[in-house]
Structure 1
Amino acid sequence: MKNLSTVDNTLESWPRVILNTYGTPPVELVSGKGATVTDELGRVHIDLLAGIAVNALGHAHPAIIEAVTNQLGQLGHVSNLFASRPVVEVAAELVSRFSRGDADLAAATQVFFCNSGTEANEAAFKLARLTGRTRVLAAFHGFHGRTMGALAMTGQPDKRAPFAPMPAGVEFYPYGDLEYLRRLIEMDPKDTAAIILEPIQGETGVVPAPWGFLRGVRELCDEYGLLFIIDEVQTGIGRTGDFFAHQHDGVIPDVVTMAKGLGGGLPIGACLATGEAARLFTPGKHGTTFGGNPIACAAARAVLSVVDDHFCAEVTRKGELFTSELLELEGVESVRGRGLMLGVVLERPVAKQAVSAGFDFGLILNAPAENILRLTPPLVITDEEISAAVTALRALLNSLQERSPEHDL
C-alpha cells in the first residue's frame, strides 16, 4: 500500500494546499467530547459554535458512533438507484415530526435528501420554478447558501456581487414587513412562485422574525397561491427549543429545508415538501449521487432518537438559563434568539476581537457582526458548562475593556 502524504504542521501547510475560501484557521482542533474540544496545544475549549450549529449532540456522542459504525459495516453507499432502510426511516421520522399527529398532513408529505443546507435550498428553489412561475421573494439579510441558486436567494449583496449575474427572478423584501411584501407580490402576482425566509436569521446576527410575521406570510401565500418555503437549516432539529422553529409560530409551510444538526456532524440535508409542492418533482427533474447516503442517514436516525420532546424542552430551559446569566455581564446590551441559538448584542464593536481572544479563555465563539456574538453550542451542553462559559466570557470582555483606547484615556 502506498504511503500517503503527511505534513509536519497542519496550520503551516493549510495555505499551501487548501484553496483560500476561509483564510488560514487560527487553531487546529484535534479531539472533542460533548460540548468541549481540545486543540493542538492541549488547550480545552467550551465549544459555543458546534461547527456552526451542526454538532447538535456534541462531539463523539456514543449513539452516533454506534450507528455509523454499524452501518459502515453493512453498506456505505448505494446511490438512489437502490433503496436502503436508513433513508426511509429518517424520512418517515421527519414527516412525523413535521405533521405532529395530523394523519392527512403526514400522508401528503415527502422528503428529498441531499448533502447540505445549500443543496436543500437549491432543491426548494427548483420546486418553486416547477410551479410554472418565476418570481421568488426572499428577505434582505437572509442567508440560504453559496451555490448559484441558493446564493441568488441570499439577501446579502456583498456575497452575490462577485458572481453576478445571478439566476433571475429573485426579489427582496425587508424581513418582518408584511405590507411591503404584499406590495411586492401585487407587482406581478401571476408570476410569483414562492416566499422564502428563515424563522430566525442566523448569519446576519440571530434576528428572530417579529411575532405574527410567519402567520402573516402564510396568509399571503394562501391568498395568492404561493409556496411558503421556510429555511430551517440552522434553526431546525431542536435548536430553538421546538423541533422546527416554525412550530413556535403555529404555521405549516409548504416546503421546509434542513441540514446542519440533522446529521450530528455528518453531511446531510433534506428538503421536505407537502401538498401540491410534494408532487412537483418527478423522475429526471432533480437528483444527487450522495443524497440519502446510508451512513449519513444512520447518523441522522441516531440524532432523531435523542432529540425528543423532553430533549427540546431542556434546550428551552438551557437557553433561558444561558440568557439570564449573559444579561448579567457588563458590556452586554441584550440577548436575542430562542433556545440555544442566541445573539449576544455587545455595547461595543468588539465581537471579532472576542472571537480571536476567546481561545486564550477556553471559548470557541463566532461573530456575525462587529457587535454580536452568535452562540450555537451543542444542545447537550450542561448547566455547569453554561456557567463556566459565562464566567470565561466575563473575563474575556473585561480584558477587552482594559485594552480599549477609552480605558487608556
Structure 2
Amino acid sequence: MGNNFKMVAKTLFGFEEILAKEIRNLGGLDVKEGVRNVSFSGDSGFMYKANLCLRTAIKILKPIHSFRVRNERDLYKNMYDFDWSKYLSPEKTFAIDTTLSSDLFTHSLFVSQKCKDAIVDKFRETHGERPSVDTQDPDLRLNVHIHNNQCNISLDTSGKSLHQRGYRKATNIAPINEVLACGLLLLSGWDGQSNFLDPMCGSGTFLVEATMIACNIPANINRKGFAFQKWDDFDAELYDKIVDSSLNKTREFHFKIMGYDKAPSAVEKAKANVENAQLSEYIEVQRKNFFDTQKVTENHLHMVFNPPYGERLSIEMEDFYKEIGDTLKKNYSGTDAWLITSNLEALKFVGLRPSRKIKVFNSHLESRLVKYIMYSGSKKAKFNKSI
C-alpha cells in the first residue's frame, strides 16, 4: 500500500461511470468520478496495467505538484522552485501540454512556454546545462492544468492519446475515435454474448473494439509503446509480466462479428484494420448495402453503427434515415439496434420510438446514442407471452 499513488484517467463526456467501473474491475483503489475524468490510486504496476487495458481512458496522468497561482510570476516561481531532478536530467528531452479553465490565463501555449522557461532556467542554474524540448517524442511529457487559480502538474504516463490503439492504419472520411467507439459499445451493453453487426462499418472500428471486448483482449496491446517506458524507473520485467498476465485472461468468442459497407474502399480498409488487429478469425466484412440485407441468424443480434450524416450524405437525409427504420422493421426482428448521430433532426425520420437516448459527444458535436428494440413478433405478443 505504501507504494500507491494518485492517478487521473481522462475520458470523454458521458463515459465517467463506465471508466470508473473499468478501473474498479482492474483493481484500482479510491476510485472517484469527476467531469471527463476519474481519479484512482495504485502502484507502478497498476499504472502499466491501466494504460494497457483501460478501454475508455484517453490518458493516464500522475500528479506530482500542485500550487495556487495569481499571475505569471507565481507560475514561473513555483515551477522554478520544484525539484525537477527527480524526473529530468540535462541530457533528456521534455514537452509540456497545457489545458486552461481560468480567467488568469487565456493562451495555453503561453503557459507552456512560461513553464518551460522556468524548468530550463533551473537546470542552467543547478547543472550548467539544460534539457531540450521535443514535442514529438520526448523522454518526459508534462501536463499542466490550471483551473481558476489552482495549478496542477502531472506526468503524462501514456504519451500519445490512448485512442490510438495501433491497429488502424487505413481510415475513411471522419473515422470514429476508438475510445468513443468502445465507450458506445459498453454503453449499449455489449458483452460478447450474442452475434454482432455493424451494418455501415466504414474502416471497421466498431468491429475491432467489439471483438476485443468479447475476447477480453487488452485495449492497447497493439500500441508501439507508452510514455512511462522512457522513464528512469521503468521496470521492463514487471511490464512484461503484466502483459503476459493480461493476455492470459483473454477468452474465446463463440458468436459472429459481422460488418457491412456498400463502398469497396471501406470494405478493403476494414479488412486491413481487422488483419492488423490480428482478429480476422472472428470478424467477417462484406460489401453489402444494409438496406438490401436481412438478419442472417435466428438468434438475438446486437447492432451498433454510426450512419453518415450532414456533409457525408450524398442522398436526402429524410429518405436515408427513413430507410434505416424501414429496414430494421422489416428485416431485423430480434435485434437491439443502437446508432449514434449528431444530426438530431434525422432521428425523427427513422419512424421508430427509441427505448433509450443517451447524450454523448462525437468530437465537439453533441450527439445521441439511441436504442431501437426490434422484437421478434409484436411487442404486445411478447408481453402477453411473458405474462
Structure 1 length normalisation: TM-score? 0.27
Is the helix fraction higher in 1 or 2?
A: 1
Higher relative contact order (CA 8 A, sep 6+): 1
Structure 2 length normalisation: TM-score? 0.28
